[in-house]
Amino acid sequence: MSSADARPLPFWLAGRLAHGHDQLDVRGPDGQCVASGCVPTDAQVEEAVAALDAAQGPARRLSLGERAEALGHVASRLLERHEEIAALITAENGKPIKWARIEVTRAASVFRFAAEEARRWSGDVQRLDTEAAGSGRLALVKRVPKGPVLGIAPFNFPLNLVAHKVAPALAVGAPILIKPAPATPLSALVLGELLAETSLPAGMWSVLPVPNDQMPALVADSRLPIISFTGSAPVGHSIRQAVPHKHVVLELGGNAAAVVLSDFGAETDIAWAAERIALFANYQAGQSCISVQRVLVDRPIYDDVVARVVSEVDSFATGGGDGVATDVGPLVDEQAAIRVVSWIEEAVEAGAKLLTGGVRDGATVSPAVLVDVPADAKVWCEEVFGPVVVLAPVDGADGAIAAVNASRFGLQTGVFTKDTATAFRFFAELNVGGVIIGDVPSYRADQMPYGGVKESGVGREGVAYAMTDFSEERVMVLTGLDL
């Protein structure tokens, strides 16, 4: 797919291809046009929402087998078109091809998990004769969709984070409208192709690359009672404030910490921790909500860990995302790179030491390692969303727990310890959504509950957990039974 394509790419309106009146140029990090797409008109957006509303009955009546077959089909087709879709992600997003390939594989797993969960979506049976008043009574409890879902996806995982909204919605029988990020709509449109190959009811899904200024009207629409948003904290909080009566799921990122304690082990263990920290501070050019940003190191091993992280970071190859040897690719655009470098420069002016990196070439920033960073510097207390890692010494578990919890974010934390009691203490005392013991905070299995506390969001992703979020209990009581 290239800018040479003669006609702008259509979008998916109520399960069918449609062209709009306006055009959106999708540009890679280098500013070159990758493809052009159509932008829906207001009338087409209204048509899509009305179709979702009308599709609620047919969608809910789909058998569990029909839902599972559709989801399984998408999973299989993603793997069949693996290389093509990975190349598309790299083109629109800039992430190195090796990470784009992993994203496609993960998205296929999300749909496979959803197919498996759909087949188990059977509800519960409760005998009510535990009290005399319930004699002869039996309750059937099932979960039903709360209504159509508005899924708003970000640019950093343009396929997998769309999958985390679409797959659970379809599994519970909820119609869904996906709004991909304007910068990266192409892989979501390909996902629409795969959905169109299934027998899902007409109108059950739409993929609309609408501009961000059209989002408030969609958020406010009463026919979309569920909103699943992944993106920046200011936008997420504004959504929740605008529609407090709706069910809103927010994944808003953070500034994830990795803790390295002296008990982690021998020199080889510390070396492995430094390797993981360096890799996952930079693996998507830092554009991941759980990218390692802050590293809190037990004071006795601090200098050693710093030296090892710098050495690892200096070994990374930077360059274009399509290079098979590229470790750190460009940010999504040049403006993002300019912002990241400005935050590094602000920290240095305030007294921080830049040990390596921090040099911009267009949209690419060489991985930066900082120490002695003031607590109020943006690279410490905000979400950098770039290839920057900051290290600081702490005094044991007490100091690490206090430093992690001092952040206004709380998504995930990695703790390098081999002491079981210490692991459980961090699990009990850290105010975050997830604690990864023995590894970086960047680990995520797509079937596990994933989400944060404080300004990192509300609600949980992870297929089964999102299915619960998108649905509610309904009870039928049968009377006069011989139990």
Rounded Cα–Cα distance for residues 360 and 352 (Å): 19
Q: Which two tokens stand for residue 416?
A: 């390098």
Which homologous superfamily is 257-445 in? Aldehyde Dehydrogenase; Chain A, domain 2 (3.40.309.10)
Beta strands 16-18 and 11-13 are antiparallel
Residue-level length of the chain: 483
- Residue ranges with strand state E in 417-482: 434-437, 453-454, 457-458, 471-478
Catalytic residues: 251, 289
Q: What is the pLDDT of residue 6?
A: 56
Distance of CA 409 to the CA centre of its chain: 16
Specify whether the CB–CB gap between 151 and 162 falls below 8 A: yes
Distance of CA 95 to the CA centre of its chain: 15
DSSP 8-state class, residue 358: -
Of 229, 74, 69, nearest in space to 149 by CA: 229
Rounded Cα–Cα distance for residues 207 and 198 (Å): 15
In this predicted model, what pLDDT tens digit does every residue of 26-71 receive, in sequence order?
999 999 999 999 999 999 999 999 999 999 999 999 999 999 999 9
DSSP 8-state class, residue 37: E
DSSP 8-state class, residue 251: E
Rounded Cα–Cα distance for residues 177 and 160 (Å): 16
Q: What is the pLDDT of residue 2?
A: 45
In this predicted model, what pLDDT tens digit does every residue of 47-56 receive, in sequence order?
999 999 999 9
Specify whether the CB–CB gap between 191 and 110 falls below 8 A: no
Rounded Cα–Cα distance for residues 428 and 438 (Å): 16
User: How are strands ordered across the β-sheet holding 471-478?
Assistant: 124-127, 138-145, 471-478
Q: What is the pLDDT of residue 265?
A: 83
Residue type at 236? G
Tell me the three state secondary structure of residue 307: helix
For the chain, the structural domain boundaries read 11-252+458-474, 257-445
DSSP 8-state class, residue 318: B
Cα distances from 349 to residues 81, 345, 374, 388, in angstroms, run 48, 6, 10, 16
Specify whether the CB–CB gap between 224 and 239 falls below 8 A: no
Element (H, E) at 388: strand 388-394
Question: What CATH topology corresponds to 11-252+458-474?
Answer: Aldehyde Dehydrogenase; Chain A, domain 1 (3.40.605)
- Angle at alpha carbon of residue 386, lines to 321 and 208, rounded to 5°: 70
Residue type at 112? R
Cα distances from 481 to residues 50, 125, 135, 163, in angstroms, run 42, 14, 8, 43
Rounded Cα–Cα distance for residues 368 and 45 (Å): 43
Rounded Cα–Cα distance for residues 226 and 207 (Å): 16
- What value does the CA radius of gyration of the chain take, rounded to a whole number of Å? 24
Residue with tokens 């708003």, as numbered in its chain? 152
Cα distances from 322 to residues 169, 245, 355, 428, 477, in angstroms, run 33, 45, 28, 43, 59
Spatial CB neighbours of 345, under 8 Å, sequence gap ≥ 6: 358
Mean pLDDT per 10-residue section of the chain, whose length is 483 residues: 64 96 92 94 97 98 98 98 97 94 98 98 96 97 97 97 98 98 96 97 96 94 98 94 97 95 93 98 96 98 98 94 87 97 98 98 97 98 98 98 97 97 98 98 97 96 96 98 95
DSSP per-residue codes, 96-152: -HHHHHHHHHHHHHHHHHHHHHHHT---EEEE-TTSGGGTT-EEEEEEEE-S-EEEE
Backbone angles phi, psi at 335, to 5 degrees: -60, -40
